[in-house]
Amino acid sequence: MASSKKAIPWIIAGAVGLVAILLWKPTVLIYGVQRAGLYAAIALPMGLAEGILHIVNLAHGELLMVAAYITYSLAQALGLDPLLALFPAMIAMAIVGYLLYQLTIRKALKGPELNQLILTFGIGIALSQIITLIYTSRTRKLHLDYVSSSLTIGQTSFGIWDFTFVALAILMTIGIRLFLSRTKLGKAAVAVGQNPRGAAIVGIDVQKTYSLVFTASVVLVGIAGSFFLTRQSIFPGVGSPFTMKSFSLIAMAGVGSISGVLYSSLALGIAEAIINGIPGMSGWSDIVFFLIIIITIAVRASRTRQS
């Protein structure tokens, strides 16, 4: 009760801020929300793995990139629309995720946290270098008509395709929550996430659960990767900034909070869009992001140290 009362001034301040932005430049709000959708769609799968396996997957952004390349190749080879190529790409990503878990992550889960960090860092490098080896570092892009569709309300005109990222993020949130709360496997996963030894005692197959959740997180980020391809140019390094961004969004939301990732993405998406909206400042938008990251992490870490 006390915490909800505390939140009231924040909610009011947020609402006032949003109205102010809306009056200043409505497109900023729209692009901010769209950007937030992209961030959330990428961060949510990482949050799932972090919440259940307690592993920070530093190869997360590279898995996004790999999925985008697989989708690209399928689209080129079979002449498919990337949104149809998405389905075979999901199968490919499931195989990638399963093998990654069985061959590497599984062994490292028993070891210290730092080993997992360095291991997934190495996996990220290996993935981006394999893609460089196959595709070189040349930028690639699909040219699709539907992504440039736009809408005009009054005097403001804006692209609407990027709202698919928002939809994707919301669908992922609902999907993950339903999976964790309604299905037997999902409930088992929550139990494993909270206490793996206890879960093993009551008869849950911990290894199978880990394997499933990790694979699911790779498939989900793969879906985000296919959608990413519709809009953006891809190159081997395109995924790596998203690893850090996703980690920070999860830290901001609090590990284990699925809907929290939506709110933290929203805050960051809009903050970046505001900076981008100021003429001549667009190069600085990343700095806002990193500053927010550092402050959040510092606050979170000091809080956990105190408790």
Partner 1 sequence: MKRVSSFILPVVLVLAAVVFPLVLGPYPQTVARTVFKYMALALTWDMLFRSGQVSFGVAGFFGLGTYATVLLAVKAGFSFPLAMLLGAVIAAVFAYALGFLVLQLRGTYFSITTLALAEIFRVILRNWTSFSGGPEGIVLQQIVFGGQSKALYWLNLGVLLVVLLVSVWLENSKFHFALTSIRDNEVSAQTSGVNIFRTLLIVFTITAFLQGLVGAVDVVSYGYAMPDSAFDANYTLLPLAMVLLGGEHSTWGPVIGSVLLGVASEYLKLKIPYGHLLVYGVIIILVILFMPRGLLGFFRRKKGANRG
Burial class (CB in 10 A: 0-12, 13-18, 19+), 246: buried
> Rounded to whole angstroms, how far apart are CA atoms 168 and 172?
6
At which residue do the structure tokens 């699709």 appear? Answer: 144
Amino acid at site 97: G
Q: Using the rule CB under 8 A, is 132 a contact of partner 1?
A: yes
Of 124, 196, 222, 239, which lies in the binding site for partner 1, with binding defined by CB under 8 A?
Answer: 124
Sequence-distant (≥ 6) Cβ neighbours of residue 197 within 8 angstroms:
none
Of 76, 115, 139, 194, which lies in the binding site for partner 1, with binding defined by CB under 8 A?
Answer: 115
Positions 55 through 74 that interact with partner 1 (CB under 8 A): 56
Show contacts of 202-205: CB within 8 Å, 24+ apart.
none
Residue 277 CB, nearest distance to partner 1 (Å)? 16
Q: Using the rule CB under 8 A, is 279 a contact of partner 1?
A: no
Angular region, 256: left φ>0, alpha ψ -120 to 50, beta rest = left
**Quick one: 117 or 144, whose CB is closer to partner 1?**
117
Number of residues that bind partner 1 (CB under 8 A): 45
3-state secondary structure of 60: helix
Which range of residues in 102-110, 146-154, 160-168, 270-278 is near partner 1 by CB under 8 A? 102-110
Residue 34 CB, nearest distance to partner 1 (Å)? 22
> Rounded to whole angstroms, how far apart are CA atoms 46 and 62?
12
Task: Tell me which residues touch partner 1 (CB under 8 A).
Answer: 56, 104, 107-108, 111, 113-115, 117-119, 121-130, 132-134, 136-137, 240, 244, 247-248, 251, 283-284, 286-287, 290-291, 293-294, 297-298, 300-302, 305
